[in-house]
A and B are shown apart, each in its own frame.
Chain A
Amino acid sequence: MSRKQLALVIDLNVCVGCHACVTSCKEWNTSGAAGPMSDQNPFGSDPSGTFFNRVQTFEVGEFPHTETVHFPKSCLHCEDPPCVPVCPTGASYKREEDGIVLVDYDRCIGCKYCSWACPYGARELDADQKVMKKCTLCVDRIYDASLPEIDRKPACVKACPTSARLFGDIHDPQSEVSRAIREQGGYALMPEWGTHPANHYLPRRKTRLRIHEDELVRADNPLRVEGHLPKPASDAATFEDASF
């Protein structure tokens, strides 16, 4: 547990489903070290393309008690990634130093076996390059010393207008992401498979006012009680004493 594990923490309470992370991811990575992320027939009737990150939308509950949940989905950089050991060439690997799961495009043979071994559907085969592609956590960006410190974050995190995406080391208990997971109920997807995803999600949270009946009616409301009570004698207890 001492080794660093970089990850994203995505706050579903804050995500508005604007797809800014999707386009920013595509823009950065298609022109960066992980690119190109090819598109097929992008302006035709049946467009298709490679993405590392998708924002999906779910409806929870039955009308009228429904809630819309926008759900950004990318590689979760599992701590025990099932996609890595099945790779016959060693093209898929998990970095020792920071836990990022990567694909070496020059060694990938495009057999798609790793995508079968990922329950989250996080890997996509590039239809042009014929190699498997996936989120790199912007590994070419987060260590780039030529960028200002504040920009050394994944493109999706930088793009999010509502700051729904946090980035950091989940093995450092004092990091922003660890604190968010700990204090705001961060959870992993499909925990039943034991893949231990590094990425976590923060749940939707509701702030409710709890109002009791007696808080709505003031027992000592002077406007209500004045007419019904005899005016106390001047030497008697005051009104406020008398009401109790």
Chain B
Amino acid sequence: MNPAFSVILLTTLIGAGQGLFLALVTVQIYGVAGLLPPAQGVGLYVGGSAVTLVLLAAGLVSSFFHLGRPERAWRTATMWRTSWLSREVIVLPAFMGTVTLYGLLHLAGWSPVLMTSARGVSLDLSLAVGVVGTVLAFALFVCTAMIYACVRFLAEWHTPLTPLNYTLLGGASGFTLAAALAAQAEAQRVDFLAGWALVLTALAAAGRMASLVRNARLKPRSTIQSAIGVKHPRVVQRSMGFMGGSFNTREFFHGASPGWLRAVKPLFLVLAFAVPLVLLWLARAQAAEGVGALLAAAFAIQYLGLLAERWFFFAQARHPQNLYYQAVS
């Protein structure tokens, strides 16, 4: 497939946004449960929600560049019964609304207690909104990934590893970003968030490498023999029927050299996983001085790596229609 930068930006930006929001709610839940010292202020929640919103909005804007007719985008909400793309279009604004509400509740400091458990743990309104947002964040990961995983013709995507990796990669980048934000707004949460970012980055690396191993062993189900229905071991195309390009030759071929494709794989493994793991480790080991810069660098490098990862995700998928577009005579 030919990777579209609008979709690469969409999936990586909203992934980081969802991960960041999950990090905020995680911090709040740990705080409510008494597992973390009480927060010094609402800066992390408010700032984090704002950054989440910016990421989601940027992703939404870039997604419009993938549409031929963006002015009709509102129609996409209609086919949620069958289409994962339609479901994503519904969940994304719902999630953005919930994040807005979550940020505003923290900003206003208005959070009435809804219920209190026997052990004194109280559920307040902002936490309830946070839990709703958490459900929506996971739903959005599933919707986004299933857009790709449900296309059975693209064997590289058609695996449960796709939703798993979208969730883990988004979670890893979001928690790294949360740690970087906490270094500015709530220093005592940095250790906690960087620790989770480490764990998620390691898990994401494992998941992505599992899918790389799986994809390397794939054998295309369709052959040129089944494509035209002629049983002979040697069938070659002599003409695709035209000499100029067409949609079929532009959309389904990435056009990059095999060398570049081979180079991108180690590149994204280093940028998205190896370097951030080292930087997160250093940030946890180091005293307060310079931690913010380290974590910001970790996020920036990881995000760059995820851009390369997503490019590779698209480029690696081989569409069976390409069998019909092999030769210009």
Contacts and interface: CB of A to CB of B under 8 A. Distances in A.
A201 B241 CA distance: 18
Given A121-B321, A125-B251, A71 B75 contact: no
B242 A54 contact: yes
Contacts of A118: 153, 321
A204 B72 CA distance: 46
A107 B324 contact: no
Nearest to B77: A88
B227 A190 contact: yes
Interface stretch (A42-50, A137-145, A206-214, A229-237): A42-50
B51 interface: no
Contacts of A46: 244-245
Interface residues of B, number: 58
Contacts of A120: 320-321, 324
B5 to A, nearest CB: 14
The majority secondary structure among interface residues of chain A is: loop
A206 to B, nearest CB: 13
Interface stretch (B22-30, B91-99, B125-133, B230-238): B230-238
A34 interface: no
A190 B241 CA distance: 20
Nearest to B221: A192
A217 interface: no
B229 interface: yes
B234 A86 contact: no
Interface centre among A191, A193, A203 (most CB of B within 10 A): A193
A72 to B, nearest CB: 9
Contacts of A127: 247
Interface stretch (B78-86, B134-142, B179-187, B210-218): B78-86
A109 B246 contact: no
B295 interface: no
A20 interface: no
B80 to A, nearest CB: 8
Contact of A61 (B83, B85, B234, B244): B234
A56 B224 CA distance: 13
A54 B240 contact: yes
Interface size class of A (residues with CB under 8 A): 35 or more
A57 interface: yes
Contact of B238 (A48, A68, A107): A68
A88 B68 contact: no
Interface in B104-157: 147, 150-154
Contact of A58 (B147, B235, B247, B248): B235
A90 interface: yes
B153 A59 contact: no
A115 B247 contact: yes
Contacts of A87: 79, 83
A48 B245 contact: yes
Given A82-B152, A82-B153, A117-B151, A48 B244 contact: yes
Nearest to A203: B229
B152 A89 contact: no
Nearest to A188: B229
Nearest to A42: B244
A239 interface: no
Nearest to B88: A88
A52 to B, nearest CB: 12
A58 B246 contact: no
Given A110-B68, A111-B67, A189 B251 contact: no
A217 to B, nearest CB: 35
Given A60-B230, A125-B251, 4 more contacts: A57-B241, A82-B152, A109-B68, A110-B69
Top 8 closest pairs, chain A to chain B, by CB: A110-B68, A130-B68, A121-B321, A54-B241, A85-B82, A47-B244, A88-B86, A88-B76
24 contacts: A19-B241, A57-B238, A57-B241, A58-B238, A60-B234, A61-B234, A82-B153, A86-B83, A86-B85, A89-B78, A109-B73, A111-B66, A112-B251, A113-B83, A116-B151, A119-B153, A119-B321, A124-B247, A125-B247, A127-B247, A189-B229, A190-B227, A201-B228, A203-B230
Interface of A: 19, 22, 41, 46-51, 54-62, 68-69, 71, 73, 82, 85-91, 107-113, 115-121, 123-125, 127, 129-131, 187-193, 201, 203-204
